[in-house]
Chains A and B, each alone.
Chain A
Amino acid sequence: MDNITPSVDVSHLAAFDLDGALGEAADRINHGTRKSFLRNAGILGGGMALLSLLPGVARAAGGGLPKGDIDILNYALTLEYLESSFYAEANRQGALSGELARFAKAVGQHEDAHVQALKQTLGGKATKKPRFDFQGTTAGKDTFAKTAMVLEDTGVKAYQGQATNIRTPAVLKAAISIHPVEARHAAWIASIMGSGSSPAPDAFNPAADMETVLAAVKSTGFVPALASAPAGDAVSGQPAMTG
């Protein structure tokens, strides 16, 4: 099913009215590590960097979203850009066939829809799409399948790791509607790959924090801007996202 329209409407987030409790959220989450990552990846626009110095302004300008939620949404958007570009390239290459081709097409559409929904939510605060280099992984069935599995497994962990950091109920609802879809993708590709990879390897899915995920993304070399960042910059070791 080519469901491009978000069934969870996140567009109304722009009008979300903040309650006072959200104000303290920005202080609670450590932004240092992520900011440096986002800058290195060319993800942080000049305006956003400036706004981050002015917490009150950041809230008002973010469509009413607290800064922590904007960071999380931009982090999710970056991962969705990565996935969506990966499947778009794989579909263009045409090396896939059978169920693998069906998977790539369907999942590519989902990731596009996630990108659109997140961009819509973030409005002017949406980070730009970085340049990707998938290192030839989209050119063959095996490398495509293995890479897709890693990307999807990572996506599940990433969304799961942010659930407790999100302050705005509407953002949580949106994230929690994407999270199980990433899990479905992960299981689907594992099922296609057959024995040796379990669609549901554990009774409890592991979560991953932002630093862990970004370090993993960096290690793939798929984001050239990240690869040239100073070593350790994306991983400061700060347990910032365990709130």
Chain B
Amino acid sequence: MTPQTSTDPDGRATPPDPTIDRFDRGEAAAEATAALRGTTRGELFRRAGLLVGGGAIAAGVPLAIADAQGGLSKRDVEILNYALTLEYLEAAFYAEAVDRGKLHGEAQRFASVVAQHEAAHVQALKKVLGGKAVKAPKFDFQGTTGSQKSFLATAQVLEDTGVSAYQGQAPRIKSDAVLASAGSILAVEARHAAWVRDIIGGGGDPVPAPSAFNEPKTMDQVLAAVKKTGFLQ
């Protein structure tokens, strides 16, 4: 996640590279994670208006989450709101990209399909969370939706991050219904990631499926990465 400034083929400056692939998972990462705990997350949630009073009893009983009768656990609510925040970000990014109309060909098809998916994820998560759902933050995509190239590069990062984010939370989820829903979204984020990678590289570089085992990321890793993009106002 080293910020880099470069220039795209149209001569426009492109914003810092939000790639988090190089995120250090070793000792340094453990230190960073410890440092971030309780600060970054709290700060991010506050800024995003994510910390709402926990009083409300769980949401109405939506489609996929039929068995949350006793109410969702505190941790599941936190995970769902984290997922919702990432989905807000993705949904807003694709909506802006589609609106700006700078895309063509397969990238355009990708953007419009994925925009619908992310909007559906937002709706589903909001429904599950009901009164506990965090509000959508304000975003600034730093001009990345303004060209096909920067759109695709950013989409790749967002989707890869989405996959690792859901993967990182799955084992922490308490409710089976929430886990089942998260799994159904995880697979779709992975499909998006492979799709955009194939559009960019034609199956060469980046490889749509770069590894036999996908890497999970913790909430702190993901939130730190998101924070560094500057997308979240």
Contacts and interface: CB of A to CB of B under 8 A. Distances in A.
Interface of A: 1, 3-4, 6-8, 99, 102-103, 106-107, 109-110, 113-114, 117, 156, 160, 163-164, 169, 172-173, 176-188, 190-192, 198-200, 202-207, 243
Contact of A204 (B188, B207, B208): B188
B120 interface: yes
B220 interface: no
A3 B212 contact: yes
Contacts of B219: none
A178 B171 contact: no
Contacts, number: 160
Contacts of A156: 187
B176 interface: yes
Contacts of A172: 170-171
Nearest to B208: A188
A160 B166 CA distance: 13
Contact of B216 (A177, A182, A205): A177
Given A106-B209, A177-B216, A204-B184, A163 B192 contact: no
A177 B217 CA distance: 11
Contact of A176 (B113, B167, B188, B204): B167
Interface of B: 64, 113-114, 116-117, 120-121, 124, 163, 167, 170-171, 176, 179-181, 183-195, 198-199, 202-204, 207-216
B208 A191 contact: yes
B202 to A, nearest CB: 6
A164 B176 contact: yes
Dominant secondary structure at the B interface: helix
A197 to B, nearest CB: 11
Nearest to B195: A199
Nearest to B209: A184
A177 B215 CA distance: 7
B211 A207 contact: no
B176 to A, nearest CB: 4
A199 B190 CA distance: 10
